[in-house]
């Protein structure tokens, strides 16, 4: 089945470039949008698998568009949303991840990474490039400017699951988790799946956010979760 994508960005060059890259990789761009209003309509009309969503757009920004798309009533299976961002100015990205976005990409992403990212989120995983995500979450966690949207009781997790969640929140990949904990990668995947299920989280991005917002991991902590 062809993977279907909507590209929402107010810059023509960005939309055109992404369309060319994705099409060359066998991914179908079913619609383009220049603002959040058009993005919402495009999603309703085409029912894509993934939306590439810019943050800054006229009329309605990507954050609010993401909230409306993922919170739409009657949406049997909403698309996965990847936020397109830059580090220096997009202070709303953390809130977008909290709203349910499956990750984010820098706009200067390589063609190979773009296609791989779309396939990754479509498969049910999340974009958690360790270095980038760590910087993003640590920059915006506990800033107080945006409302906290994920509240979870971690008491349902086993000690091992808490350990996995702590390391996951520090940006470790499954392979790195397996190496650190001396486990098979398939076992790590099972632990992650159980964490998501017990905490009723959509994906790894929300797991990272939950780890920060519950205080399991603190800003500035090391890779073991401690300062």
Condensed to tens digits (0 to 9), the pLDDT of residues 70-99 reads: 886 555 678 999 988 775 555 666 677 777
Residue with tokens 């979450």: 137
Rounded average pLDDT over 50-67: 92
Strand order across the beta sheet in which 4-8 lies? 28-33, 4-8, 50-54, 80-85, 103-106
**Quick one: CA dihedral 195, 198, 201, 206, positive or negative?**
negative
Q: Report residue 226 CA to chain centroid gap.
A: 24
Contact between 72 and 38 under an 8 Å Cβ cutoff? The reply is: no
- CATH T-level fold of 154-213: Arc Repressor Mutant, subunit A (1.10.10)
Residue 67: pLDDT above 70?
A: yes
Percent of the chain with pLDDT over 70: 76
The whole-model pTM stands at 0.70
- pLDDT given for residue 63 in this prediction: 87
C-alpha distance from residue 89 to each of 2, 55, 85 (Å): 34, 10, 8
Average pLDDT, the chain: 81
- Closest Cα partner for 62 from 72, 77, 48, 51? 51
Q: How are beta strands 4-8 and 103-106 bridged, if at all?
A: unpaired
Domain residue spans in the chain? 4-127, 154-213
- pLDDT given for residue 180 in this prediction: 94
Helix (H) or strand (E) run with residue 22 in it: helix 12-24
CATH architecture for segment(s) 4-127: 3-Layer(aba) Sandwich (3.40)
- pLDDT given for residue 49 in this prediction: 95
Burial class for 77, CB neighbours closer than 10 Å (0-12, 13-18, 19+): exposed
Query: Band of the pLDDT at 145, cuts 50, 70, 90?
Result: very low
Where is mean pLDDT largest: 17-31, 80-94, 103-117, 203-217?
A: 17-31
User: In whole angstroms, what is the distance from residue 101 CA to residue 105 CA?
Assistant: 11
Beta carbons within 8 Å of 107's beta carbon, 6+ residues apart: 14, 84, 85, 86
Contact between 180 and 164 under an 8 Å Cβ cutoff? The reply is: no
């Amino acid at each position: 089945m062809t993977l279907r994508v909507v590209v929402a960005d107010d810059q023509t060059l960005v939309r055109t470039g992404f369309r060319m890259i994705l099409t060359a990789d066998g991914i179908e761009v079913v619609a383009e949008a220049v603002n959040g209003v058009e993005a919402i309509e495009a999603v309703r009309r085409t029912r894509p698998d993934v939306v590439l969503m810019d943050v800054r757009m006229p009329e309605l920004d990507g954050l609010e568009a993401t909230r409306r798309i993922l919170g739409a009533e009657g949406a049997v299976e909403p698309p996965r949303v990847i936020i397109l961002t830059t580090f220096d100015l997009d202070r709303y990205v953390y809130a977008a991840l909290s709203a349910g976005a499956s990750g984010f990409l820098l706009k200067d992403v390589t063609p190979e990474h773009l296609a791989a990212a779309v396939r990754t989120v479509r498969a049910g995983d999340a974009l958690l490039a360790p270095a980038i995500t760590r910087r993003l979450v640590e920059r915006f966690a506990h800033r107080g400017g945006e409302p906290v949207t994920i509240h979870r009781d971690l008491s349902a997790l086993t000690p091992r699951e808490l350990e996995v969640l702590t390391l996951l929140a520090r940006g470790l990949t499954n392979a790195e988790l397996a190496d650190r904990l001396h486990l098979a990668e398939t076992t790590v995947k099972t632990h992650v799946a159980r964490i998501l299920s017990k905490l009723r989280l959509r994906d790894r991005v929300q797991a990272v956010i939950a780890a920060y917002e519950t205080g399991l991991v603190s800003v500035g902590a090391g890779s073991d979760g401690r300062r």
